[in-house]
Amino acid sequence: MMEKLVLASNNAGKLKEFAALLAPLGVEVIPQGRLNVPECAEPHHTFLENALEKARHASRITGLPAMADDSGICVAALGGQPGVLSARYAGEPKSDARNNAHLIGQLQGQSNRRAWYYCVLVLVRHADDPQPLVADGAWYGEVVDEARGAGGFGYDPHFYLPDFACSAAELPAEQKNRVSHRGQAMQALLAKLQALQS
């Protein structure tokens, strides 16, 4: 099992979640910023292509294994948008508050509030890894106008989970890590990693 990997992200929320998920395996997760890796362009229209681009970029610069995710919220009434544009839905500079306000504005008058968070994780052992490990996960809920809860990040305060009768921002972090799109993708990726080690 690898001891270190670069997380191809500078998102503090993602770093915290991935570090917690990988800690039991003894893997140290290093954010790319600490190794002076500049942010990678995300020019693609799919989560998978963007995640692969980011992982290869971080691995090429650091010489270490690298993991990247591309994730976002997809809304049924908006044809799957904001999708890969989730982090910049309201434009630059990135702002969770403006993104949420923009999403709520786009959904005014819509009765269908069904939405899902989607995550693709890609792990490359080296920049030219011919067989990247790929896993994904989806987490279903609905968008609500009123923000609920102070936890999480991104769209979490507006992402209501009928099964839990609360928003993603109201779930305890440990529970969120188990059931979220990122948690599901991570569990699938861990299973693939463990299969390679056995």
Please list the active-site residues.
70
Which residue(s) pair with 133 in the sheet?
123
Alpha carbon separation from 49 to 73, 100, 130, 175 (Å, rounded): 17, 25, 15, 29
16 and 41 Cβ atoms separated by less than 8 Å: no
| Residue 159 and residue 94 in contact, taking contact as beta carbons nearer than 8 Å | no
In order of 24, 53, 68, 125, 134, the CA distances from 61 in angstroms are 27, 13, 14, 13, 21
**Sign of dihedral through CA atoms 192, 179, 74, 76?**
positive
Q: How many Å separate Cα 123 from the centre of its chain?
A: 13
Q: How far apart are CA 46 and CA 48, in angstroms?
A: 5
Q: DSSP class of residue 73?
A: E
CB 6 within 8 A of CB 55: no
